[in-house]
Structure 1
Amino acid sequence: MNVYQGKSVFGGIAIGHLCVYQKGEQQVTRQKIEDVEAEVKRFQVAREAAQAQLGELYDKAVKEVGEANAAIFEMHQMLLEDEDYQDSVENIIRTQQVNAEYATAVTSDHFSSMFAEMDDDYMKERAADIRDISERVIANLNGENKSKVVTDEPVIILADDLAPSETVQLEKDKVLSFVTVHGSVNSHTAILARTMGIPALVSTEMELTQDLDGKLAVVDGNHGTIYVDPDAETMEKMKTLKKEEEEKKELLQTFKNKESITLDGKRVLTYANIGNVKDLALVLQNGAEGIGLFRSEFLYLESETYPTEEEQFEVYKKVAETMAGKRVIIRTLDIGADKQADYFELAKEENPAMGVRAIRICLTRPEIFKTQLRALFRASAYGNIAIMYPMITSLSEIAQIKEIVEEVKAELDADGVPYGTPEQGIMIETPAAATISDLLAKEVDFFSIGTNDLTQYTLAIDRQNQSLDAFFDAHHIAVLRMIYQTVQNAHKAGIWCGICGELGADSDLTELFLAMGIDELSVSPGRLLTIRRLICETDSSANKEEILKKWL
């Protein structure tokens, strides 16, 4: 038996035979050509074919993993449209009189190296995207199809690395798991794997050799381990764990339609976080009591221009109607930082996480804000919609929001357009907001704590910078104290307080949040039943002081 360690992308246990995935390296040689314009044309035909292929991949991904996760293929199409990329290939063909395959490969090397050397981790990830689109163009130039897994039985895919396009082409019913020698836990491929629910490891410390093909293996996604040719004892242990996991999943289903009530009778709402309408099926499938965070910015990120009032209204109305009276909290646009839309024409910033983003855009571009608010208020007539404002730091921001809201309501009244009376709350995701939460609580209907940014700003650590992982502590006492302070101040003012950040799904903290008196936990749909089970099995008043003392 050989045991290898990697980084877990998605948990679970898979038992099956290995299938070594060979990309089929593109053999590129430098060739002298006579007709440079014909060669340029050949490149453009191959590039256009790649665009069409990416369009098909996008459609497939939308059906399997939703629009937000399929956006990578739109990004690849944009990279192929990039004039600098095209100009580089064409210039090499013309000036060096070489074949399109060679010119594309050289351009790929130049651009991917440029991205790889950047300080920003997000931009570093683009190096892999450049290589992927270039491989696709070269394959088209060579008249070859990109490699696919062909198998009669479900297998564990073993590869050096997998591009997003390769991941989404995997037939889910034929893939038990995938393990890669390289790759990042924050890559698009990893995100797709998590969404597809495939147990997966990346950065696995093993040598990829063809003799591994067909061998029996076990992937333990919970501990980031793969066992090749497992011995009888290990196999028996893994089979037991796998059976226990399946039983847990069945047990969780019994909590699907239960209310989330602690043993001592405290009701805690369990809501779901979603990015678009296509996620509603997962919300209903997991029995969410409402939607605690609808990320409206995806309407903007998935559009080539500002979505109209009517387009937004139809989306918000559909969500409200589908949830049939259950509360739907829609966050106003949170564009900026790592979520960029070119048509906003935001200036380049040295520190975008602390720059022009979220409510700061809304208050400095009120015409965009009012369009969204009109759509939200109109949709509130069709269900239980609540509106949530992100990145609040002061009372003056709330005053400005209220002024704009009154203008919107006056416009709707003048037009004779019906609207409801949605709750209006704010996200507590800055230390400033947490510190003055006693003052803010008097001005709004509810709080929702965004723990991702609250942790980032409190610890002064960029949460996307992998090199700082050793310093990043989501359980830091300063963060937990701010959460507790916020909950206390909300309750003193008579409003409710929830959590919609990643910590809400952290089962290690559920008991603490209940001791704090949290009213609502909003998590990804897949984590909802696990959190509900913990709530139903916990006495929130038992050992309350000891729990608080332990953590705070």
Structure 2
Amino acid sequence: MLDHLRQIVQDVSAAKDIQSTLDIIVARVKDAMQTEVCTVYLYDKNTDRYVFMATEGLNKQAQGRLSLTRDQGLVGLVASREEPINLDDAASHRAYKLLPDIGEEEFNAFLGTPIIHHREVLGVLVVQQRQRRKFDESEEAFLITVAAQLAGVIAHAKVVGAITPFERTGNQQNNDVRFRGIACANGIGMAEAVIINPSADLTAIPERRCENPEQEIAFFHKSLATVKTDMQSLRDRFAERLAKQETALFDVYLQMLDDNALGGEIEVRIEQGLSAASAVSEVVLSHIATFEGMDDPYLRERAIDIKDLGQRLMAYLQRVEHQHYDFESPRILIAEELTASILAEVPKGMLAGIATVRGTSNSHVAILARSMGIPTVMGLKSLPLKKLHEKALIIDGYNGELIANASDATCQRYENFQQEERLVDRGLEQYKDLPCKTTDGQEISLQVNAGIISDAERALSLGAEGVGLYRTEIQFLISERFPSEEEQRVAYRRQLEAFHPRPVTMRCLDIGGDKALPYFPIEESNPFLGWRGMRVTLDHPEIFIVQIRAMLKANANLGNLQILLPMVTQLSELGDARNLIMRAHSELVQEIPNLPLPKIGVMVEVPSAVYQIDTFARCCDFISLGSNDLTQYLLAVDRNNPRVSTLYNHYHPAVLQACYQVAQACNHAEIPSSICGELAADPAAAVLLMAMGFNSLSMSSSNLLRVKSLLRFITMDDAKRLLRGVLKLDNAQDIQDYLQRNLEDIAITPLFQGVREQSK
């Protein structure tokens, strides 16, 4: 049976459309189970009926014409119960309903199983026989397995089918076709799509020898120089739009092409007799395979960068004409995967959104998109690229969705939201120089997250009161080796001076989990529960002490540094880290008199830290709650996994209860508490966090004025009333609905709830 199943899946995956998919399923299943009839009924949302779509053994002329309501017949019963039904005499069952003209009167045995994808019943798969008998357990198990295996393929085929008929008829009523992926950059984009294809296929290069290696090397160097020129040009173009730290990505690209990296390795292959094209293909594909095989998401993303460089090199070696795309008006860029260099080629102001089949929120493109304010969704694994070129699309960067074939009502809803966004953005400027103070005088500090996407001037121009989270690992991630103490000191000093006298909270090196260094790989089967955060740096005090020394030196004569310890799970880790910090300080104070000792805080990111929060609060100077990781660990959800990303919700009661517990413990211990992550950047959630007692919120600078404008519009009494009501609720959706109703009641626009309510 397993061989039959593999063959069915293989044949179905190659089908060109939904009808071909269903025809293959019924034919193959009928043969595999040696039954007389196999039929597929598909659910049609528009009519709310199960349509007789494909059959082997019954009347094919009735396909697509006959259907059952959701509560009709054995098919409706299978779907409503969401479980198989196995009968030896179908006609005697109370739910039996004979469909006219399909010729099933003579068949008695009936076995039907639902086809379910992501909790949605797509249809019902049925087999029948004349003989009165129940299908045995192995037959039932096989049909269930087939339905489960093919559910994703059928779901994809249905989506493509929903787009294709519209293309053919031109007058069919539009019905939203939604593709769910990973939300990587907030915002709404509405525009026609342009599909980006690679300029050269590295896998299509045959192995060829060269007769004159010296001449081939000269040809390779000429192409290499052209690619380097391209990279420098793209870096300069990006420099007009981004901070210097962000354009450093192109310096990394250039380093990859050096003689001691890819360039040198390719040259060695040419010297050994390979043609330049064959050498590039061999070397680049080898590196791509190595990186793609790694468990760590960051390292996997490096494969995209290497592939981009390889394809550009190959295009010049093969003299492939550079592709040109129409950007007379803003477009949504769609591709299997995108790179920073492709992004840089798009004219300024002509990018309405980004959608890719592959990629995560850690990719270089996602980082750049967030910095430029471009709505971005990645991980759209079921996206039918060829069907979407030049089609009008909506990209929802808040909820991680791409919408094709949108109805007039959906288009109007998103247009209204875009217009409201623009109006609010224009109105927010008035708040940038005002304190974040409620109408009854309660103040809360709004700070920014910083790192590779930091832009001190922009953050300060928007009224940031400091840096709540400076990600020191970014400098490590874009380097080819551990940065020296002096290199770190210079980078840290720049941040401290930019925000002085405002506080800058620097998180110590936080690698592992979703971040690994190219030159210090961590290979684990479950990296999020493995060697990460303080576990790594305490095991390597030589790395930790160098970083601490760099921080302390950078803080000389300034005094606005705060040190944050990431991923602390037990008190002993705090004690060990504090001892190393004190040792470094005592050594440095000999050469730098009056060197200030910064405050030392713990980042609460795991449940164990929440349960020990009273103890931690007594043993450190401040607490910073990392809401993204804490939400992930509390809910056991990887938000970068599209299959479960919808379960990631920071309004989950467990998340809010944990936040409340942390804030209360800090208040009791009389130490400052802050929170960073998506929760702090959500204006409605910020109301709750303020009411809980957090002293500061840290977020990206793009969210700062939205949060401030809402908090300045509310009283502390209203915020505490909302919190009391929320803490009584036990469902995330109920909490969001409650907040929306109550914020509307006190005349606060529902924009601050995000687009989620508008896109249901």
TM-score band, normalised by shorter chain:
0.7 to 0.9
Identify the residue that residue 358 of structure 1 maps to in structure 2: 533
Structure 2 residue identity aligned to 1:324: H
Which deviations, in whole Å up to 9, do the C-alpha atoms of 1:453-509 show, x marking residues without a partner?
A: 223333444454445435544444333322222111111111121111232223452
> What is the CA-CA distance between 1:288 and the residue it aligns to?
1.0
Identify the residue that residue 227 of structure 2 maps to in structure 1: 50
Instruction: Tell me the distance in 2 between the aligned counterparts of 1:163 and 1:488.
Output: 45
Match among 368, 373, 376 for residue 551 of structure 2: 376
Which deviations, in whole Å up to 9, do the C-alpha atoms of 1:135-179 show, x marking residues without a partner?
A: 11111213356435465x433145444333111221223x14145
Q: 1:73 to 1:351 in 2, by over 3 A?
A: farther
Q: 1:281 to 1:114 in 2, by over 3 A?
A: same
Instruction: Tell me the distance in 1 between the aligned counterparts of 2:186 and 2:463.
Output: 22
Does the 8 A contact of 1:515 with 1:547 survive in 2? no
Q: 1:402 to 1:206 in 2, by over 3 A?
A: closer
Identify the residue that residue 254 of structure 1 maps to in structure 2: 430
Q: 1:392 to 1:59 in 2, by over 3 A?
A: farther
The residue correspondences of 1:117-516 to structure 2 (distance < 5 A) are: 121-122=297-298, 124-144=300-320, 146-149=322-325, 151=327, 153-161=328-336, 162-173=338-349, 175-178=350-353, 180=355, 182-184=357-359, 186=361, 187-200=363-376, 203=380, 205=383, 208=386, 224-225=401-402, 240-276=416-452, 279-342=455-518, 345=520, 348-378=523-553, 379=555, 381-516=557-692
Does the 8 A contact of 1:313 with 1:375 survive in 2? yes
Greater RCO, CA 8 A, separation 6+: 1
Match among 216, 223, 228 for residue 39 of structure 1: 216
Q: Say whether 1:546 aligns with 2:725.
A: yes
Q: Mean alpha-carbon deviation: is it higher for 470-479 or for 404-413?
A: 470-479
Does the 8 A contact of 1:15 with 1:176 survive in 2? no
> What is the CA-CA distance between 1:428 and the residue it aligns to?
1.1
Q: Aligned pairs, how many? A: 545
Structure 1 residue identity aligned to 2:532: R
> What is the CA-CA distance between 1:403 and the residue it aligns to?
2.6
Q: 1:403 to 1:106 in 2, by over 3 A?
A: closer
> What is the CA-CA distance between 1:393 and the residue it aligns to?
2.3
Which deviations, in whole Å up to 9, do the C-alpha atoms of 1:56-97 show, x marking residues without a partner?
A: 4445546634466546545555665699977996798789x7
Which deviations, in whole Å up to 9, do the C-alpha atoms of 1:242-280 show, x marking residues without a partner?
A: 332211101222221222223443222111001059521
Which deviations, in whole Å up to 9, do the C-alpha atoms of 1:103-158 show, x marking residues without a partner?
A: 5446656665665566555555455444322211111213356435465x433145
Does the 8 A contact of 1:321 with 1:383 survive in 2? no
Structure 2 residue identity aligned to 1:156: R
Instruction: Tell me the distance in 1 between the aligned counterparts of 2:545 and 2:356.
Output: 49
Q: Say whether 1:524 aligns with 2:700.
A: yes
Q: Secondary structure at the match of 2:728?
A: helix
Instruction: Tell me the distance in 1 between the aligned counterparts of 2:491 and 2:498.
Output: 11
Q: Percent identity?
A: 31
Structure 2 residue identity aligned to 1:542: R
Does the 8 A contact of 2:295 with 2:523 survive in 1? no
Structure 2 residue identity aligned to 1:547: V
Q: 1:543 to 1:149 in 2, by over 3 A?
A: closer
Q: Secondary structure at the match of 1:509?
A: helix
Q: Mean alpha-carbon deviation: is it higher for 430-439 or for 536-545?
A: 536-545
Q: 1:62 to 1:443 in 2, by over 3 A?
A: farther
Q: 1:181 to 1:120 in 2, by over 3 A?
A: closer
Instruction: Tell me the distance in 2 between the aligned counterparts of 1:412 and 1:98.
Output: 55
Q: Secondary structure at the match of 2:600?
A: strand
> What is the CA-CA distance between 1:446 and the residue it aligns to?
0.8
Instruction: Tell me the distance in 1 between the aligned counterparts of 2:406 and 2:730.
Output: 43
> What is the CA-CA distance between 1:521 and the residue it aligns to?
1.0
Does the 8 A contact of 1:456 with 1:462 survive in 2? yes
- Name stretches of at least 5 consecutive residues in structure 2 with no aligned partner: 1-169, 732-760
Give the TM-score taking structure 1 as reference length. 0.83
Instruction: Tell me the distance in 1 between the aligned counterparts of 2:516 and 2:471.
Output: 14
Does the 8 A contact of 1:16 with 1:176 survive in 2? no
Q: 1:24 to 1:84 in 2, by over 3 A?
A: closer
Does the 8 A contact of 2:297 with 2:515 survive in 1? no
- Name stretches of at least 5 consecutive residues in structure 1 with no aligned partner: none
Does the 8 A contact of 2:223 with 2:317 survive in 1? yes
Instruction: Tell me the distance in 2 between the aligned counterparts of 1:222 and 1:119.
Output: 27
> What is the CA-CA distance between 1:320 and the residue it aligns to?
2.6
Q: Mean alpha-carbon deviation: is it higher for 534-543 or for 443-452?
A: 534-543
Instruction: Tell me the distance in 2 between the aligned counterparts of 1:355 and 1:185.
Output: 20
Instruction: Tell me the distance in 2 between the aligned counterparts of 1:19 and 1:415.
Output: 60
Which deviations, in whole Å up to 9, do the C-alpha atoms of 1:188-214 show, x marking residues without a partner?
A: 33332222112345548565479x65x
> What is the CA-CA distance between 1:292 and the residue it aligns to?
0.4
